[in-house]
Amino acid sequence: MSVLRRKVFNFYNHLPIPTKKVISCLGRFLPRSYLFGSTFQATLTHIRKTQYWNKKDLDNLGRYKLSRILLHAYTTTPHYRREMQRENISEGLIQQNPEGVLKRLPFIDKRIMLDRTDDFLSNSMHSTAYDHTSTGGTSGEPFYFYIDSNRSGKEWAFFVDQWSRVGFSLLSKRATFRGSRIHDRLWDDDWITRERKFSSFSLTDEYLSHIWPGLTDYDPDFLYAYPSTAVSLCQFIERTKNLLPETIKGILLGSENIYDGQREYIERISKKKVFLWYGHSEKLVLAGECEYTNHYHAYPQYGYVEFINESGEDAKHGEFAEIVGTGFINTVMPFIRYRTGDYCTYLGDSCDKCGRNYHIFKDVRGRWTQEVLYGKQGNPICMSAINLHSNSFRNVFRFQFFQDTPGEAILRIIPKEGFSLQDQLALEKEFNQKFSGNLKVTAKIVGDIPLTSHAKYRFIDQKIVT
């Protein structure tokens, strides 16, 4: 996606809803490939050209892409140049043996990058279009980082490809329950993305009963949601005997762990096939199931993935391991050997069912759990929908929600230096607008947010027993 195209999309996303609707309706008449740009089309072509390559050729492709990001990091970033010089690594060695070079570099994590952000920034970023974005993490401390602006076209190509395994195309329509802000309306239609977006914050029987005719009349090809949201929808279906539209070919789920029995429950109640994918905001590893198995297949064209066992060594097939990623998409702030905090069972390097020589894994357990808040009517609001990529957290060291009453929550904040009353009010306003009156949030500064008895961090200190 070009810089101009990216700016146009950013401008479009911030327009008032009525204006956005007019533009999106006009956009439905434009060719889909034109809407997403040449970067999208080139990336999709590359994925489909290489996905069934033999293991040797695919490994060579991965090594080539790895050498490019390592060379870029060596020549443009202080941190990686310093680490490689300490190991007497030269540009020539990077080109000859990129995997060997990678193994000589230390792991990094969010804490290291937060403490030394400037050291990880490429000196070429000033000539590159980039965005400043954020994500949460296992510690509750917002993580701000920089990333290339043209990432969207590239990443969308990977999503289109993996979803195509269950019949998705650029013409497919989605009914989406993924944290969209819906104010004073039942849903929003976006013909640019071909989505009818519903609220994830008002999953009451009253709201779902009102929107169900609109869900059915839309004739969506896919339902797009968080796993916990899909469970809530299926519970509604069980209670009311409503049915999903026959046009739905599958349910696309991601951004959250899925627990034992949930997939079977969703498929049994909805009578639709579930497709799961794994990824994260840092753009390091992207993996989706294949046409024949429930195992994740990591794209070697997207990033270089390592599976590291408890001893810090490469995991063997069948071992439980941490997912460590080196991304190929972000050149503004390269992530190399980044510990994701996500764990899985590593299965191998090829799938004998679909024929792809991708790294295969299952049973992901990690950062985004199915913690929930409860709205006024007791409706669950999942943490994945709550997660905000917001500048309002810039001066927040750590945060946590506390709830003991449905429809009300306290946002506990440990502030950084520079945090002001305006920051506090901005956070309250942002969350309360997002929840649209279904949940009232009050921000409160605290001195500490304790861990659980098992020394784990929780995003939500939930006292409501259901």
Distances 100 to 90, 95, 96, 109 between C-alpha atoms, Å: 12, 10, 9, 20
CATH number of 390-462: 3.30.300
Neighbours of 88 (CB within 10 A): 8
What would the two tokens of residue 54 be?
């033999």
Residue whose entry in the numeric block shows the structure tokens 């929908």:
385
pTM of the model: 0.79
The confidence band for 298, taking pLDDT boundaries of 50, 70 and 90, is very high
What would the two tokens of residue 35 be?
């809407």
The confidence band for 362, taking pLDDT boundaries of 50, 70 and 90, is very high
What pLDDT score does 160 carry? 96
Q: Is 60 strand, coil or helix? A: helix
| Amino acid letter for position 120 | F
pLDDT digits (tens, 9 = 90+) for 3-54: 555 555 555 555 665 665 566 555 555 666 667 888 899 999 999 999 999 9
Cβ atoms of 409 and 373 closer than 8 Å:
yes
Q: Is 115 strand, coil or helix? A: helix
* Sequence ranges of the domains in the chain: 390-462
DSSP annotation of 409 reads E
pLDDT digits (tens, 9 = 90+) for 92-151: 999 999 999 999 999 999 889 988 999 999 998 776 677 877 675 555 566 778 888 878
E runs forming strands in 244-371: 250-253, 273-278, 287-289, 296-298, 303-308, 320-327, 338-348, 359-365
Average pLDDT of span 193-220: 91
Alpha-carbon distance of 112 to 121, in angstroms, equals 13
pLDDT digits (tens, 9 = 90+) for 216-234: 999 999 999 988 889 889 9
What pLDDT score does 434 carry? 81
From its phi and psi, is residue 455 left (phi > 0), alpha (psi between -120 and 50) or beta?
left
Residue whose entry in the numeric block shows the structure tokens 């279906």:
237
The confidence band for 72, taking pLDDT boundaries of 50, 70 and 90, is very high
From its phi and psi, is residue 255 left (phi > 0), alpha (psi between -120 and 50) or beta?
left
Please calculate the CA angle 111-317-321 and round it to the nearest 5 degrees: 20
The confidence band for 85, taking pLDDT boundaries of 50, 70 and 90, is very high
Average pLDDT of span 413-432: 88
What pLDDT score does 2 carry? 47
**Higher confidence at residue 393 or residue 407?**
407
Q: Show Cβ contacts of residue 206 under 8 Å, excluding neighbours closer than 6 positions.
A: 377
**Higher confidence at residue 394 or residue 344?**
344
What pLDDT score does 257 carry? 79
The confidence band for 455, taking pLDDT boundaries of 50, 70 and 90, is very low
Average pLDDT along the chain:
86
Alpha-carbon distance of 374 to 386, in angstroms, equals 12
- Model confidence at 80: pLDDT above 90: yes
The confidence band for 164, taking pLDDT boundaries of 50, 70 and 90, is very high
Query: Phi first, then psi: what are they for 253, rounded to 5°?
Result: -125, 140
Alpha-carbon distance of 409 to 343, in angstroms, equals 30
What pLDDT score does 1 carry? 44
pLDDT digits (tens, 9 = 90+) for 365-387: 876 565 778 888 877 787 666 66
- Model confidence at 445: pLDDT above 70: yes
| Amino acid letter for position 115 | D
What pLDDT score does 451 carry? 60
Query: Phi first, then psi: what are they for 206, rounded to 5°?
Result: -65, -50
Cβ atoms of 395 and 419 closer than 8 Å:
yes
Q: Is 164 strand, coil or helix? A: helix
**Higher confidence at residue 390 or residue 273?**
273
Query: What angle in degrees, to the nearest 10, is found between the helix axes of 32-50 and 151-163?
Result: 70
